[in-house]
Amino acid sequence: MEDYITRMGDGRRVRMTKEQIMSDIVAGMADGADAAQVPELSQDEMERIYEIVCDKSKITSIEPGREVCLSKDAGAIKFNQDNGGSGNAIPCMGRLEGLLVYERSLTFDSMELAWMDYSIKPVKAVINCETSNYEQMAMLTTLPLVMGAMPNMGLYYAPDGPYANPTDLMREFKIEESMAASEAAAEHLTRDIGYVCQEIDKVGCEGFNFDTVASAGDAEFVATLKGMENYRKSNPNAYIECGMSAETVLGIHGGMEYDGKVVAGMYPHEQVKLCEKAGVNIFGSVVNTNTSKSFAWNAARSAVITKECVKVANIPVHANMGMGVGGIPMCELPPTDITGRAAKILIEIANIDGI
């Protein structure tokens, strides 16, 4: 019986038969549809996923005319920070040189300026330097250039921040105190987003990429939505991108609302509607990879959840497809034989606008 070389969700190469692959596609799709409460894929769509998974070419791509835009989080950090961790084995270069590599060698469609400590709180402390850096880099690049940072509300909790850690309080059964800490930190984060955006706008910044949103749960998502809404009001022409941290919003607080809706437990097709309300231009959907399942299982699950997000969205959806999301294996250097297949599946089946 013929088998095919594919991978697991942790990146391991394995051999699977056609029957095993198709069985995993059906199972992964059903799991995603049930989790997000979205319509299932058709039999034709699942068979197309099977064809892509089983393509014997080492590198798989899309047909001419199906190309999508590429956006980026963390900017040129991969070139100018810990190269051992990034795995590119290139001697460190400055952020400007890194941006030029992305623009002129890797041909990205957009890019962002990112501070090495890639979060709103530390960026706030160096914003005067970053405004100067942005102004210089914008003059030397052609592609759309935005500022970028993670909200990362965890930095506002003890021991790094002024507010008690909600999860620690919950372990002590101090539920009301835990919720109050989340609300206070959220208000602080919204203020800081406003300050950073206000300062970077002084040099004509084209916009902002809010990356890994809701990593600290529902309070962080609401804080970021409010921050983006305020930014949109202050700068109607700003280009705002919101990339999520996980497929569902963790209910650390449990009752946080935006636009009259409780955000805890929301999946991408629900998250994108709130981002539209806040004035976002590009939404970065996330579907998490299960490392114990095959690529076929993860790809089908990612496709069914992402497809509904794209279907209901009125703004472009750039699926997050780094390590551990979008069907990509959870490993430091995602293998190219899988990244191409994962992208092709989401382009053809989910109809994403970008990656």
Question: What is the residue extent of each domain of the chain?
Answer: 3-350
Confidence of residue 13 (pLDDT cuts 50, 70, 90): very high
- Mean pLDDT (whole number) for 8-22: 95
- The answer on pLDDT for 80 being more than 80 is no
| Mean pLDDT, residues 273-284 | 97
**pLDDT band at residue 270 using 50, 70 and 90 as cut-offs:** very high
Class of domain 3-350: alpha beta
| Per-chain mean pLDDT for the chain | 93
Q: Tens digits of per-residue pLDDT, 198-238?
A: 999 999 999 999 999 999 999 999 999 999 999 999 999 99
Give the pLDDT score at 86. 54
pLDDT in tens, 123-168: 999 999 999 999 999 999 999 999 999 999 999 999 989 999 999 9
Whether 242 shows a pLDDT value over 70: the answer reads yes
Per residue in 29-46, pLDDT (tens digit) is 999 999 999 999 999 999
| pLDDT exceeds 70 at position 330 | yes
Q: Check whether the bond before 159 is cis (ω within 30° of 0).
A: yes
